Amino acid sequence: MRKKIVAGNWKMHKTCAEARQLVTEVLKGLMPAAQRKARVVFCPPFTALETVCSLVAGEPEVFAGAQNCHWANHGAFTGEVAATMIKACGASYVILGHSERRQYFSETNVVLAQKVVRALEAGLAPIFCVGEPLEVREANQHKELVATQIREGLFHLTASQFAQLTIAYEPVWAIGTGKVATEEQAQEMHAFIRSLIAERYGTEIAENTTIMYGGSCKPSNAGGLFAQPDVDGGLIGGASLNAEEFLGIIHAC
Ligand code: PGA
């Protein structure tokens, strides 16, 4: 059975002290792992990653992740961070290909394909983000675009590599806008993504791949989205910055 995951993408928010406070509050409010359906992942900025890793160490089904990594393991890349360094901090996940990285930092599928391999080699589980901008959905090209992102970004992986990663479908028009995809829109795209994976890697791997939804997820809409058969949790931006809201989403899972 595939895992349900609720991951918080903090983006460029929270100092170390604020990170400590938020994670401590969330941990206090979590149900015991045996009663919880979803794995919880915190993805703070790099500066708070070690702090968060040490807070979640030993907590069952709670992990930390980074929001990006470089395509090389070391070298003259001022300002960048390697997957091996993230792993050495104690993190388990890394978000790759978030639409903000694609949009503001010109990350292409070709670059992401390399980052995914570095992350896997380092022992990190990538959370690979895909999703279409509004004009692409309006032109009814959203499935083609997402298929290209997945084929070019991931389909060079071997089956055993692919089995270690997680996908997040985040329609760009829903990120930070308050405009959430309908349950039907989410389910349709998630089922489509799963069918692509099945074609390339077979049904067993497809059925075991966690596909999270992201984009304006809140406690009030998370239950309906997560109840869809192909929606396996959420990648949460704004609502993950507040313990009560993030816990509300985790409990909705
Ligand atoms: P949001 O962001 O929940 O604030 O819409 C989601 C994301 O960017 O991962």
What pLDDT, in 10s, does the model give residues 151-183?
999 999 999 999 999 999 999 999 988 888 999
Distance 76 CA to ligand 1 centre (A): 32
- pLDDT at position 176 is 87
Is the pLDDT confidence value at 65 over 90? yes
Please give the model's pTM, rounded to 2 decimal places. Answer: 0.97
**Of 70, 98, 142, 190, which residue is the catalytic one?**
98
Distance 220 CA to ligand 1 centre (A): 15
Alpha-helical runs (H) found in 108-236? 109-122, 134-138, 142-154, 159-162, 183-201, 203-208, 219-226
Q: Report which DSSP code applies to 180.
A: P
Is the pLDDT confidence value at 247 over 90? yes
Token pair recorded at residue 190: 């998630």
- pLDDT at position 250 is 97
Report the relative pairing of strands 4-9 and 211-214 from DSSP bridges.
unpaired
- pLDDT at position 186 is 97
- Catalytic annotation on 170? yes
Atom of ligand 1 nearest to the CA of 129: 9
Atom of ligand 1 nearest to the CA of 100: 8
> Can you say whether the dihedral through the CA atoms of 34, 35, 39, 43 is positive or negative?
negative
Is the pLDDT confidence value at 1 over 90? no
Please report, as a single letter, which amino acid is at residue 112.
L
- Catalytic annotation on 98? yes
Mean pLDDT rounded to a whole number for the chain: 97
Is the pLDDT confidence value at 224 over 90? yes
Please tell me which residue, 20 or 179, carries the higher pLDDT value: 20
| Atom 3 (ligand 1) nearest CA | 237
Distance 235 CA to ligand 1 centre (A): 7
Distance 17 CA to ligand 1 centre (A): 22
